Structure formats: C-alpha cells, structure tokens
Chain A
Amino acid sequence: MTSRRMILAVSLVLAAAFAPAAALADDVPTIAAAADLQFALTDMAAAFHAADGRAVKLTFGSSGNFFRQIREGAPFQIYLSADEQFVIDLAALGLTLDEGDLYAIGRIVLFVPDGSPLQPDGELNGLKTALAEGLVTKFAIANPEHAPYGRRAEEALRHAGLWAAIEGKLVLGENVAQAAQFATSGGAQGGIIAYSLALSPAVSSSGSYALIPDAWHQPLRQRMVLLKGAGDTARAFYAFLASQRARKIMRGYGFVLPGETS
C-alpha cells in the first residue's frame, strides 16, 4: 500500500468516525410497537406523514421485550403493546404519562403454508388429525414467555387439547412476526399467528389461514401509551392513531376496535 492510499484509508475512517451518526432531524420520535402491527402501523405512519408532514421511526418487536427495554431506559416515546398489562405495569412504575388507551383487540389464526399437509380450519380439527398421523414435525408460534400472541396461541392449543402433543414440535419466534416468518417459510407445517399479519399480502400470498374462535383464549387487549419524554410529534401521532383515518386502517388489518364488535 502506498503512503498516499494509506492516508486515504485513514482519512475515510476518521471521516466516518467524526461525522454525525445520522442526519438528525429535530423531532422524529421512535415508537416501539408490537410485531402484529408490522403492516398496519407502517401504513398508519405513512398516512400520518402524508397528512401532517412529520415523520416517526418505527421499531417492531415482542411487547414483553419492549417492556423490559423501556424499564431499562430505552428512549421510545410511544409504546404500543399487544398486551395491556405491560402498559399498566409501566404506568405503575411511573414511566408513562398516563394509563394510555385501548386501541385494538387482536385475533389469532391458524396459518398453513402452501404445500403443507395441513388443512386450515379454525377449530384445529385438521391439526389434531395431522398430529395423530405424525404429519406435523414443526409448528410455529411466538414465544409464550414474553410475546402476548404466543401466550394466546398456547391457550388456544391447550383449549383444543393439543398442547401435550404439539409442545415438542414447536418452533418459537422471538415475536409474532418472526413466528409468521417461520410459518410462511415452509420450514414448519403451520403456525398460529396474528390475524393482522395473515391479512398482509406478503403473508397471505404464501398460504391460507382460518380464524381461531376468540372464546378459546384470553382477549388480546392491546394498549398504547405516551411515555415520559414524549415530544410534540409523538403526541400528534398518538392523537392520529385514534382518528377515523387510522381506525379504518386498523379495521382493514382485521383488528376489532374498542367499542365495536367483530
């Protein structure tokens, strides 16, 4: 390496080190959202940006992990949980502005990728038969330890009397979007995922699904809240999430809205 090239390489490293990490826009809040909102909230953020001109940054993951991160001081300004208990607990810890608002009630579906020997039916009879015949080797759900959709999936499987038979075959997604990723990949014969994800083109194009009766599990009461330190943009977006425009998008992704029935 000539000394000139050496100098070039060193100055590139120095430039990258001392330039700001990102073009810092003034007030672009980061929003932590349950993974079942992957598509719905992305659409709502785009609608907000089109209407208001301001932008928000979205991070999707498991509600339980976000709960932990917010408790450790993560700089989120809005938290949309798939399980309202996490929001209530954060409020009790004094980390939120108030107790937040119920924004949706989620549903779960049995998703079956194309080419799987499973037949999708919401009563899980096909799954029961396939399990008995040994046709199911892998079945995807979100991790029940910290992902609300995983907990509801476990409850539905227990209700159907399939838990003991399926427990050893479960592949656990870190959140429900990852479980959906596992289920659509074809590596698993099926999975229980969020209805909102099954309705998105990316997921529905790779298989079929059936709604699981909502009486089979605890309701997925999803609550959102403004966190301590929320700025003006976060507050405006939070208000937008309760607007008719946003509710219409939520309905389109299969969510039952508070005060409405499915």
Chain B
Amino acid sequence: MDWQALWLSLHLASLTVLLLLPLAVLLGRWLAVTRISGLSLIEATLALPLVLPPTVVGFYLLVAFSPRSWFGDLWRQVFGGTLAFSFEGLLIASVLINIPYAVQPAQRAFEAIGNELREAAASCGMSWWRALFRIELPLAWPGILTGMVLAFAHTLGEFGVVLMVGGNIPGETRTIAISIYDRVQAFDDAAAGRMAAVLLLISLLVIAATLLLSQRIGKRRG
C-alpha cells in the first residue's frame, strides 16, 4: 500500500476543491443570470474537459508548461521552478479539468433560485454581496457542495492527464491512480489490488455521502 500516493491524492483533491469553490460560486452565479451573447460558446468552452480525451488536455498542458512556452517561461522567471512534472503543475491541471464538475452543479443551483427573489432582495436594499451570502448561498449550497464532491472524487480518479503532465514522481506527482498503474507494471499485483480496493471504497463512500445528502435536503424541503 502506497500511503504516500494516497495522501498526495487527498492533498491534491482538497487543494483543487478549495481553489474551485470561489470560482464555482462566482462563475456559476454569473452564468445563471447573465444574458450576454455568446453564452453558449462560454459554456461549451468550460464543459470541454468533460468530453476531451485526457491525452488532449495533457498534451496542451505539457506544451504550455514547457519552459519554451511563454507561460512556462513566465512561471519559471516568477517562481523559479518548472511546472511540468511538479505538484504545482499537477494542481493547475487538476483545477482546469475539474471546472465543469464544480461549476455546472453550482450554475444549476443558482438558476433554480429564480430572478424574483433576486429582485426582491435588491429592492429591499441588499447589496450584491449581502444578497449572495444571506439569500442565494443558503439556497444554492447543496448544488455547490455536489460540485465540490464531484471534483474531489474526480481528482482522486484522474489518470491520463496526471500521467502526461506529472510523470510518476514519488511524493511529487505519483497519485494513487498512477501508483496502481506503476505497481501493475512492477508485477506487484498484491499492492495494486490493495490500492484499487481502497480507491473503490473511497469512491463508494463519496457517492453514498452525496446521495444521503441530497435525500436529506429533499426531505427537509418536501
């Protein structure tokens, strides 16, 4: 059992969720109410990671992270290290590919609130931020939480992108999913089996927790 890899995965998933939370709230809220033209194009762009093969995302990120690209070069000048095959690079990749998992449920939750309530809050003199925290978030949080749980679980399971931009470095980029692959190649079926079982159990718990949560919310509302 590669505890280091499991811990690295949990660490990566937690940081991903923390970075995505404000993005999901603000972007989800904006997408729910905006009427700008080209909205479909924006939504399609944000949903791309759902349908793109991980190798395509991985390839573009690898090119972007390379010190020969302007982004990779800028990063190196500011932070001193290279992004490819580092934990920071993995985190950036993880946040990007989880945007649709986090933002879409939040957007649906904000859409469900309805504009009457927002207008009522505004006519009562509530500021935008006050209405967000007092009216909208208390109503939308189950959707936002669902997005966070999905992003967390998806990060634990992501393989292709991590393999391409991470490169299987113990303690740095070897996540639990990569470690299973690594153990299979080392003919260590026993370790691979144990880790696969742990990941199966965690995934089951996460899904069960989400279902339980949505049931309770349903009951409370019903």
Interface size on B, residues (CB 8 A): 38
A30 within 8 A of B: yes
Whether B11 sits at the interface, judged by CB under 8 Å, is yes
Kindly provide the distance from the CB of B209 to the nearest chain A CB, expressed in whole angstroms: 8
State the Cβ distance, A115 to closest chain B Cβ, in Å.
18
Query: Is B132 engaged at the interface, CB distance under 8 Å to the other chain?
Result: no
Stretch at the interface among A67-75, A78-86, A98-106: A67-75
Q: With contacts A17-B18, A60-B185, A181-B184 known, is A72 near B11, CB below 8 A?
A: no
Whether B169 pairs with A13 at a CB distance below 8 angstroms is no
Given contacts A57-B170, A60-B185, A74-B84, contact A19 B65 (CB under 8 A): no
28 A-B pairs, CB-CB below 8 angstroms?
Answer: A1-B212, A1-B213, A1-B216, A13-B18, A15-B14, A16-B11, A17-B11, A17-B15, A17-B18, A22-B8, A24-B171, A28-B171, A30-B169, A35-B185, A38-B185, A38-B186, A57-B170, A61-B168, A69-B85, A72-B66, A72-B82, A73-B84, A74-B84, A75-B172, A76-B169, A175-B185, A181-B185, A203-B187
* A178 to chain B: closest residue by CB: B185
Q: Is A202 an interface residue (CB 8 A)?
A: yes
> With A21-B87, A181-B184 as given contacts, are A59 and B11 in contact (CB-CB < 8 Å)?
no
User: Complex: how many Å from CA A19 to CA B13?
Assistant: 13
**Which A residues are within 8 Å of any B CB, using their own CB?**
1, 13-17, 19, 21-22, 24, 28, 30, 35, 38, 42, 57-61, 69, 72-76, 175, 177-178, 180-181, 184, 200, 202-203
Q: Which of B67-87 contact A (CB under 8 A)?
A: 67, 81-82, 84-87
Q: Nearest Cβ distance between residue B219 and chain A, in whole angstroms? A: 12
> In this complex, what residue of B is CB-closest to A177?
B185
Q: Closest residue to A12 on the B side, CB-wise? A: B14
Minimum distance in angstroms from B193 CB to a CB of chain A: 14
Does A75 contact B169, Cβ atoms closer than 8 Å?
A: yes
A200–B185 Cα distance when bound, in Å, is 13
Instruction: Enumerate chain A residues within 8 angstroms of B82, measured Cβ to Cβ.
Output: 72-75
- Say whether B196 faces chain A, with CB atoms less than 8 Å apart: no
Most chain B CB inside 10 Å of its own CB: which residue of A24, A42, A61, A200: A61
Check A13–B14 contact: CB distance below 8 A. yes
Given A16-B10, A38-B187, A178-B185, output 16 extra A-B contacts at Cβ < 8 Å: A1-B212, A14-B14, A14-B18, A16-B13, A17-B14, A21-B11, A21-B87, A22-B4, A30-B172, A59-B174, A69-B167, A72-B65, A72-B84, A75-B169, A181-B184, A200-B187
- Measured between alpha carbons, how far is A15 from B18 in the docked complex, in Å? 11
Interface centre among A21, A58, A60 (most CB of B within 10 A): A21
CA distance A75 to B188 in the complex (A): 26
Given A22-B4, A30-B172, A75-B172: A69 and B10 within 8 A (CB)?
no
Measured between C-beta atoms, what is the minimum distance from A6 to chain B in Å?
Answer: 9
Partner of B14, one of A16, A59, A60, A200: A16
Task: List, in ascending order, chain B residues with CB within 8 A of A22's CB.
Answer: 4, 7-8, 171-172
User: A61 — nearest CB in chain B belongs to which residue?
Assistant: B168
